[in-house]
Amino acid sequence: MNEVARPASASATDAPEAPAYGRIAFVASEATDAVQARAELVARYGNVAPEDADIVVALGGDGFMLQTLHRFRDTGIPIYGMNRGSVGFLMNSYRHEDLPARIAAAQRVVIHPLMMEATDTSGRTHRAPAINEVSLIRQSYQAAKLRIAIDGKVRMEELICDGVLVATPAGSTAYNLSAQGPILPIGTPLLAVTPISAFRPRRWRGALVPDRVRVDIAVLESEKRPVNATADHFQVLNAVAVRARLDPNSTLIMLVDRDHSIEERILREQFD
C-alpha cells in the first residue's frame, strides 16, 4: 500500500507493509442511499464502534467525508469514503464486494489541515481546522473591505469584494474552483489566496503562496461591513481578523483507491 504524506500538499514515501484493518466501523450520512448502504455493509462485514475500529468507512458525500475526517482528526484512525452523495470528489466509488481487499490495496494519504484563528468584534478568538479552505464572506449587502498580509508583510492594502478564501490543494477543486481559483495538484506545497467577486482591484485574480507562510486578513470597517469567517463547516460571525496557516502537528488520514487516486481526480477536473 502506498503512503503519501500531505499538508494538503504532499510527498510520496516508500510503501510500508499493509496494515490489517480487521475491525471496521461504518458511519453514514442521513441520506437514504447512505443509510441503506450502511445496513448492507454491516450485514456483510459486521460493525464495531468507531472508537474501537481499525478503520472507519464513511458513506455519503463530500460534506459528510469532511465531517468524518474532522471527527477523527489526530486519532490515527484512517477514513475510507464511499460515495453515496452527489459529487463525491473526496470519495471512492461505492461497491459492496471485496471491501477488505479494496481497503488493503488503497493509497494512504496523510493530510495536515490549515488552522484558522478568527477574532470577532467582542475580542474572542476562535480556532478551527480546515481541510478545504478558510474563507471570509460578507455578511450584509455591503461589500467587504479586507487587508491581506503574508508573514506579517501587507501585500494588499485594501481588497473590496464579496470575500476571499485560502484554499489547500485538497480543497482547490471545491469552493476555490467555483470562485475561479486555480486547481492545485496534490503534492504542491502551495496555498491559493482567491478573491470572491473582487470589485477593487477589479482585475486581481488572487495569488499562490508557499504553504509554510502565515496568511493574515484584517476586516476593515467591520461595523459597517460585517464579515463571517469559516473553516470548512465551522463559522465565526462578525470576524475582524483571521489568520490561516498550516498545522504540521495535526493529521487526518484518508484511504483512496489507487485506480482513482486524488491526483487522477484533480487531472480529470482540469481536462474534462
CA distance linking residue 167 with residue 206, whole number of Å: 11
Short-list 246, 160, 166, CA closest to 206: 166
Q: Is 268 helix (H, G, I), strand (E, B) or coil?
A: helix
Q: What is the DSSP letter of 244?
A: E
| Phi and psi torsions of 123, nearest 5° | 90, 0
Rounded to the nearest 10 degrees, how much is the dihedral formed by the CA atoms of 239, 179, 209, 75? 70
42 neighbors 11 (Cβ within 8 angstroms) = no
Task: Single out the catalytic residue among 54, 62, 120, 151.
Answer: 62
- Give DSSP secondary structure letters for 52-109: G-SEEEEEE-HHHHHHHHHHTTTS---EEEEE-SSS-TTSBPP--TTHHHHHHHSEEE
Q: Would you call 216 a catalytic residue per the annotation? A: no
Measure the CA angle with vertex 61, ends 55 and 62; round to 5°. 85
8 A C-beta contact, residue 143 and residue 199:
yes
Q: How far is CA 39 from CA 26, 32, 45, 49, in A?
A: 9, 11, 10, 15
For the record, the C-alpha cell of 220 comes out as 476593515
What is the SS3 string spanning 188-206?
A: CCEEEEEEECCCECCCCCC
Do the Cβ atoms of 246 and 215 come closer than 8 Å?
no
User: What are the catalytic residues?
Assistant: 62
